[in-house]
Amino acid sequence: EAQVTQNPRYLITVTGKKLTVTCSQNMNHEYMSWYRQDPGLGLRQIYYSMNVEVTDKGDVPEGYKVSRKEKRNFPLILESPSPNQTSLYFCASSLSQGVREQYFGPGTRLTVT
């Protein structure tokens, strides 16, 4: 089944404790992105990647890191999480050509206390 998977789905952590949210897709897509969704603000793009070893900042990259060492994986790293990073996070992937429909993972709900 073609899909984007994220782990963990739910995470409660404390300020300053490094964490990684994994994202993997099995559709051989070149493009991958990370978003956060907050009430009233919609989805905002954090980082995106056009291919292996090619990443770029979205609209809200501060406090986040990403890497793209393999085509299928695009982990999101929070080196020192803070309460304002409490949010719902989505990973997405798409082909490089055509409509560029984005396929989203199921989301990761992160709470930083």
- Asked if 107 interacts with another protein (CB under 8 A), we say yes
Looking at residue 82, the DSSP 8-state letter turns out to be -
Indicate which single residue of 60, 105, 110, 112 sits in contact with another protein (rule: CB under 8 A).
105
**Is residue 16 part of the contact set for another protein (CB under 8 A)?**
no
Closest separation in Å from C-beta 5 to another protein = 11
Among 9, 17, 18, 100, binds another protein (CB under 8 A): 100
**Backbone dihedral angles phi then psi of residue 45, each to the nearest 5 degrees:** -80, 130
CB 50 within 8 A of CB 96: yes
By CB under 8 A, residue 87 contacts another protein:
no
Spatial CB neighbours of 91, under 8 Å, sequence gap ≥ 6: 4, 6, 21, 23, 25, 32, 33, 34, 35, 74, 76, 104, 105
Residues at the site binding another protein, with contacts judged by CB under 8 A = 31, 33, 35, 40-45, 48-50, 56, 58-59, 90, 94, 99-102, 104-107
